[in-house]
Every structure is written in C-alpha cells, then in structure tokens.
C-alpha cells in the first residue's frame, strides 16, 4: 500500500513519485489523502488521471479521499474557493476545453475516511477519538487537534494531509502528516507500507509543474 499526500494539480510530480515508488497497478493499492486540485496548474490533468486509474484497476485499488479543496469546488463557498486557488483549477479545465462541473460528482462523492485493520487515512486527521464523532468539518478542515494527545480509534495509526510542512511530521498523538507542500515548491511525499514496515519517499516538485506549457 502506498499513501500519497496533497497533490494540488502537480501531475508531473505525482507521476514521478509513482515511478520512484515503483508502483505496480496490478498489485499495489494507492491511497490519496485529498486535495487534488487548486493552486497548481494541472488540476484537470490530475483528476482525469486519477479517475482513469480508478476505472482501470478499481476504486478499491485506487482510494481517493475527499479534501477540503474538493469540497470547496463543489459549491461550498465560491469566494473561499477562489481565495484558496480555485481560479487555477478553473483555468486548467478551460485550457482543456472542459468545465469543472464534469468532475463535480466525482469530487462530491469521494469518501472521507479509509479505515484499514491497522491504519486510518483521512484528509485533515481525526479531531475526536471515535471515528463516528468526527464531523465532515473535522475531517476536512481540523487542525486544533494537532497539539493534543487525543487517543486514536483502537490505537490505530492515522495518516493525513492538509497541513503542509517541509517534512513528514508526527503529532502529539502519533498521527503522521504527509503534506510536504509540493505546490509551494517543496516536494510530494508518500509512505510505502509493507509487511516489513514503512518507508517514506519524496520527490521534489517537477519543473514541468512550475509553469504551464
């Protein structure tokens, strides 16, 4: 299993990370923690790539979770969306002769949590110790919990994005943040989970993602 942090339209960097991870669609499960769009130049290409990959190998093998940027793009608050880079997404779709509406249903129906026997994945982390007590707002926007030692459900490891840092970081309760600010010029990070343990992989933001072609 390979978990991947916030992409924000950096499609070339994503493909470089999958290559670095030696991703094999026939055997590997990908888990994306949300925020595929906005701020970067290639939001349409990123979403289109993920949808096609899901169709190819199945949603159980390519798990795409909802991020707060997908929520904003589906009518949550247009002004807030624009403030957070939504105009880059609109421009990306227009360059491809498309409207964001063609993918809104996909964004709207993305799951909030991926719960496995040992690990829980979600966009912003768990603000409360019981999964069912976490609201959509908690799961997509929450940050107040980061410095609190809130027990995780069944003491599982929690992997999340949303809060960009220069490096992968651990919160007070041991949750792991994997948003390393790729769209801001840093890098895209993933974690490979195997029977032997876990391994962090990162690639610097691709030059191709730094400007439109």
Residues 114-144 pLDDT 10s: 999 999 999 999 999 999 999 999 999 999 9
Where residue 76 falls among pLDDT bands split at 50, 70, 90? confident
- What mean pLDDT value characterizes the chain? 96
Check 8, 69, 103, 123 and give the catalytic one. Answer: 69
- Answer whether residue 81 shows pLDDT above 80: yes
Considering only CA atoms, which of 158, 164, 168, 210 is closest in space to residue 189? 168
pLDDT given at position 27? 94
Listed by start position, the domains of the chain span 2-210
103 is catalytic: no
Domain 2-210 has CATH 3.60.21.10: yes
With b meaning 16 or more CB within 10 Å and e meaning fewer, what string describes 196-213?
A: eeeeebbbebbebbeeee
Residues of the chain with pLDDT > 70: what percent?
A: 99
């Amino acid at each position: 299993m390979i978990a991947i942090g916030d992409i924000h339209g950096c499609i070339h960097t994503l493909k470089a990370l999958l290559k670095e991870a030696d991703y094999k669609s026939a055997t590997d499960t990908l888990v994306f923690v949300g925020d595929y769009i906005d701020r970067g130049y290639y939001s349409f290409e990123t979403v289109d790539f993920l949808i096609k990959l899901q169709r190819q190998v199945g949603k159980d093998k390519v798990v795409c979770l909802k991020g707060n940027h997908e929520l904003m793009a589906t009518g949550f608050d247009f002004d807030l969306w624009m403030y957070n880079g939504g105009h880059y997404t609109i421009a990306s779709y227009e360059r491809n002769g498309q409207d964001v509406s063609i993918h809104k249903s996909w964004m709207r129906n993305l799951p909030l949590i991926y719960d496995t026997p040992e690990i829980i994945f979600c966009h912003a982390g768990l603000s409360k110790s019981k999964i069912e007590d976490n609201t959509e707002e908690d799961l997509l926007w929450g940050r107040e919990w980061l410095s609190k030692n809130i027990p995780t459900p069944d003491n599982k490891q929690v992997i999340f994005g949303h809060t960009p840092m220069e490096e992968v970081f651990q919160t007070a309760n041991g949750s792991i943040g994997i948003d390393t600010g790729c769209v801001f010029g840093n890098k895209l990070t993933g974690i490979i989970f195997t029977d032997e343990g876990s391994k962090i992989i990162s690639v610097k933001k691709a030059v191709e993602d730094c400007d439109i072609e």
